[in-house]
Structure 1
Amino acid sequence: MAQSHKGAAPSNGWTDTATTSTDTNRFSALDQRSRPSSDDARNPYFLTHSDHSGANLVPKILIGGENYSSWKHSMTVALLARNKLKFINGKILQPEPDDDDYDAWSRCNSMVISWILHVVSIDIANSIMYLDVVSTIWYELHDCFHQNNGPRVFEVKRSMQVLTQGRNNVQMYFTHLKCLWDSV
């Protein structure tokens, strides 16, 4: 059996861009050799017709620490579905202005910022609207509202201790208890 060496062309006649590229972790919106044109949705710079700046990605508005955990989870799922999670977690860094990907990055970064601004309260939006990089906004929101602050954890645990089923059926009671538990 013939062994393949890194950098050598595969025997099937196709160019293996993963072995010939010098930077295999970098994705270029303009590099069509690595992905077929019909597979655009895998490109993190790809936007669909439904991806517009006024889209509300999640049903809840972030109002503060009391709903940050569920809002963050909903936003993460929505951004993952749109292949934009790498913009908020910093895995796709801002290219230099003369880079071929700068315009595509700028467009997607601005789109994700717009999506976030539409699903946060007016007060929160005012505090983040002048930040230019979506990953910075994401980390600011995390620092501000993450549940690891002592008073909030105490408040949630206290709510769980005094929670009673009351007139709720078991499913409603369990759902409320689970929501409190997940927010800790």
Structure 2
Amino acid sequence: MALQGNQDLSSVYYIHPSDANVTQFVSAKFNGVGFHNWKRSMILTLSTKNKLGFVDRTIAKPEITAAEFKYWERCNNQVISWLLVNLDESIAKSVLFYQTAEEIWQDLADRYGYTSMAQIYSFEQQLLEINQGTDSVSDFFTKIKTLWDGLNDANPLPYCTCELCTCNLSQRLVQRQQEHRVLQFMMKLSEQFALVRGNVLMMQLLPSIAQTYRLFAQDERHKEISAASTTLQLLFLIATTPLALKTSNLLVMVPNNLTVDRFNRSGVYGHINIGGVMQHTLPSSSSMQPTAPFSNPIQATYPDQAPPMVP
């Protein structure tokens, strides 16, 4: 026995029981800004539910006397409810009385889907001004890629439509764009990545955008691990410094990002000010000299007399 159109799982008229719940498909309702991003999210959702044809004109409205008309009407109303719940209230009111989902979709595209030269200029200006600043490599890459995607949508690359081209012009244009974006991404990163950037620029063939991102993300991670290791080494040095030291001026090396305000260990009392003078008092009954394999010299002064113990 053949299933009815609305019961066949492969049919465009089938509605899963969970689909009857009208939910918001996108993270933010469309309020007139970012139409292309909203449209892309809705297309993905409608496609997974096998209902994209109700907005892109691939599912025609059957005659009212046809057997499948009631199935089509039910699905059409369901798609309309999905669209309305994912629109800002003011925009939803403006399309509320359209009879088909296709009409709503087309109206929104006509009003908000246009591309102007001002939009293209805005994307290009933002790409010109963007810099990593204090962002991580991952956060900065997300920001710049969002601008690239917006520019792609507003001003896509031209491509051959005659299907007779033999010079691979379209492929060459894409390759040129990718190379430009690799350079743009690298040059917008901070100077701490100058070494990796120089190595990449010396390559005969530039890596892809994804490969370039991985290189800099890995370098950032290595720097974080190295900094943490250096800090632990310094703390270990302070904890294991001999109690008896000769009275003298010592040159101690400390990492850039560490500040030790006070410490008290068996008669050792003092503070370290990064970028200034490190001062702490120690007993002067021995000629032992500590060593510290760190960067950034800071002068440490040890007076002859140690202060009283601090509990």
Task: Give the aligned partner of residue 36 of structure 2.
Answer: 69
Structure possessing the higher radius of gyration over alpha carbons: 2
- Identify which range, 149-158 or 164-173, moves more after superposition: 149-158
Residue identity opposite 1:116 in structure 2:
L
Residue identity opposite 2:12 in structure 1:
P
Shift of the 86–179 alpha-carbon distance from structure 1 to 2, 3 Å rule, reads same
Task: Give the aligned partner of residue 64 of structure 2.
Answer: 97
Matches within 5 A, 1:99-178: 99-178=66-145
Q: CA deviation at 1:178?
A: 1.1
Q: In angstroms, what is the RMSD of aligned CA positions? A: 1.9
Residue identity opposite 1:92 in structure 2:
I
**What is the aligned-residue identity percentage?**
29
Task: Give the aligned partner of residue 44 of structure 1.
Answer: 12
1:60-79 deviations in whole A, cap 9, x for unaligned? Answer: 21122x32111111111101
Secondary structure in 2 aligned to 1:148?
A: coil
Matches within 5 A, 1:27-38: 30=4
Contact 1:88 1:138 in 2 (8 A): yes
Residue identity opposite 2:123 in structure 1:
V
Residue identity opposite 1:115 in structure 2:
W
CA distance in 1 between counterparts of 2:63 and 2:54 reads: 15
The TM-score, its normalising length taken from structure 2, stands at 0.45
Residue identity opposite 2:25 in structure 1:
L
Secondary structure in 2 aligned to 1:152?
A: helix
Secondary structure in 2 aligned to 1:46?
A: coil
Contact 1:30 1:100 in 2 (8 A): no
Task: Give the aligned partner of residue 290 of structure 2.
Answer: none
- Identify which range, 146-155 or 104-113, moves more after superposition: 146-155
**Structure 1 consecutive aligned stretches of length 4 or more whose deviation exceeds 4 Å:** 29-32
Q: Which has the higher contact order (CA 8 A, sep 6+)?
A: 1
CA distance in 1 between counterparts of 2:121 and 2:38 reads: 20
Q: CA deviation at 1:135?
A: 1.0
Matched positions, count: 149
Secondary structure in 1 aligned to 2:118?
A: helix
Task: Give the aligned partner of residue 60 of structure 1.
Answer: 28
Task: Give the aligned partner of residue 268 of structure 2.
Answer: none
Q: CA deviation at 1:30?
A: 4.2
Bigger strand fraction:
2
Shift of the 107–50 alpha-carbon distance from structure 1 to 2, 3 Å rule, reads same
CA distance in 1 between counterparts of 2:140 and 2:14 reads: 42
Structure 2 gap ranges (5+): 152-311
Residue identity opposite 1:63 in structure 2:
N
Q: CA deviation at 1:118?
A: 0.6
